[in-house]
Each structure stands twice: as C-alpha cells, then as structure tokens.
Amino acid sequence: MPVDFVMRATEEKIREILEIHDTIIPVDQDLFTYGLDSLKTVILVVELEDAFDIMFEDKELLFENFATIQLVADLVKRKLVTKDDQSQRVD
C-alpha cells in the first residue's frame, strides 16, 4: 500500500471523526487542540482497524501515539508492515 495513501486515508478518517472539513491541520499539530478526546480516539482506533484490516495492541493505545496525524499514520504504516511480514511467513 503506498505510503501517501496511508497518510491521506488516515487524515480523512481523523477529519471525519473531528468533523473538520475546511481547516488545514498540519500533520505535526496536536489533534487534542482540534477536539480529539478519549471517546473520539476510540472511534478513530476502530475506524482505522476496519479501514486497514489491522489490530492495535493494547500497549499501542496510548494518547501520545494518536497526538498528531503524522504519529497516527506512522503507527498504521508500522502495523501494515508487520501484517505483510507475518502473511509472507505464513505463505
């Protein structure tokens, strides 16, 4: 999956959940200043797991992993690489 697709899709999910459509959110800007809270973070986790067919581990469910678009996209990318590595070992 192309890296920029992951970033775009992650940003779209975040914008959708935060209901922000007209404001530019820098990828390194703290999402909590835009209204991300614990409930919206849980919704984001579920949405990302469904969208990318991944599963976050409990140890990854820390606020600091979801603080910016860049951090969230990086976490998703790592999960996708891990998933691909595991599927290649099974094949």
Predicted pLDDT of residue 75? 97
Q: Which residues of the chain have pLDDT under 70?
A: 1-3, 84-91
Please tell us whether the domain made up of 3-84 is placed in CATH 3.40.190.10: no
Predicted pLDDT of residue 83? 75
Long-range (24+ apart) CB contacts under 8 A made by 27-36 are 27/68, 27/69, 27/70, 27/73, 28/68, 28/69, 28/70, 29/68, 29/69, 30/67, 30/68, 31/66, 31/67, 31/68, 31/69, 31/72, 32/63, 32/67, 36/66
Predicted pLDDT of residue 68? 98
Q: Which residues contact 67 (CB under 8 A, 6 or more apart)?
A: 30, 31, 32
Domain residue extents for the chain: 3-84
Predicted pLDDT of residue 51? 96
Predicted pLDDT of residue 82? 85
